Structure 1
Amino acid sequence: MFANLQKRARALKTELVALYYAARDPRTPWYARLVMLATLAYAASPIDLIPDFIPVLGYLDDLILVPAGIALSIRLVPAEVMREARQRAATTPVSRRANWLVGGLVLVLWLLALAWMGRLGWAWWQSRP
């Protein structure tokens, strides 16, 4: 059972890398890129629709929404582009540096969003009578 889970996890990682390569291809439509970005942002985000500390439901949204977003992204990408991206993902190793880079980018985006919301909140607080 554990070997099967490892195999599925590796396949999912390869699909995510293939989606990355497909997103960089100019033949990929903009709406497919938007779905990919939203899926990746949700998967990497520390903020969930349903918090993880809620039993069962907390992880259920991750188990349903992320794979559904990946499946939708794959369907929106043209078949030729996805085939080439899968070939490239299977032959190109992903470095740990790339993982840290993506994690750092997500962290910076969240910090910018929090700073923007804080600024809006401060402006609202100052404008009160």
Structure 2
Amino acid sequence: MLFAIKFSSIKAWARNLKRDSVALYLASRDPRVPWHAKAVAVAVAAYALSPIDLIPDFIPVIGYLDDLILLPLGIWLALALVPDEVMEECRTKASALLQRPSSRGGMIAIIVLWFAGALALAWAAFRYLPR
């Protein structure tokens, strides 16, 4: 029971972190946000997407700690720098964007296309590469 409560609170935290990440993207494009808040948001996004980490990810356990600590702290700092009324608007927009309907049919079509592409690539490799 205790595990279920903690797991649900971790899921809620992760969901809010995802929403706030999208909201920060929206806020960084808003003219009412100061330039330094935009700079922090861009720096956090660049660090998250960069292949270069403070501690390389191939180091077991420790490699992911910088991502688990620095990214939430950077998001928190950027959120603190954005004006509250702008952040509320952006959170509302982000929640609406994240609740788009998903299609099982679309997912199946994408999987079939990837599978067909992999088969075509394998066929071409066996057919045209010298043995």
Same fold (TM over 0.5): yes
Structure 2: unaligned runs, 5 residues or longer: 1-5, 103-131
Q: Is 1:34 equivalent to 2:23 in the alignment?
A: no
> For residues 33-112 of structure 1, what are the structure 2 equivalents within 5 Å?
33-93=38-98
Aligned with 1:92: secondary structure? helix
- TM-score under structure 1 length normalisation: 0.66
Distance 1:37 1:47 in 2: 16
Does the CA-based 8 Å contact 2:19-2:98 persist in structure 1?
Answer: no
Report whether the alignment pairs 1:18 with 2:23.
yes
Distance 2:21 2:30 in 1: 14
SS of the residue corresponding to residue 80 of structure 2 reads helix
* Paired letter, 2:83: P
Q: How many residues align?
A: 96
User: How far has the Cα of 1:94 moved from its partner?
Assistant: 7.3
| RMSD value, Cα | 1.9
Residue type at the aligned position of 1:51 = P
Runs of 4+ in 1 over 2 A off after TM superposition: 1-9, 92-96
- Cα shift at 1:92: 2.5
Counterpart CA distance in 1 for 2:51 and 2:8 is 28
Unaligned runs of 5+ in 1: 97-129
Task: Give percent identity, aligned residues only.
Answer: 57
Alpha-carbon distance in 1 for matches of 2:51, 2:7? 26
TM-score calculated relative to the size of structure 2 = 0.65
- Counterpart of 1:75 in structure 2: which amino acid? A
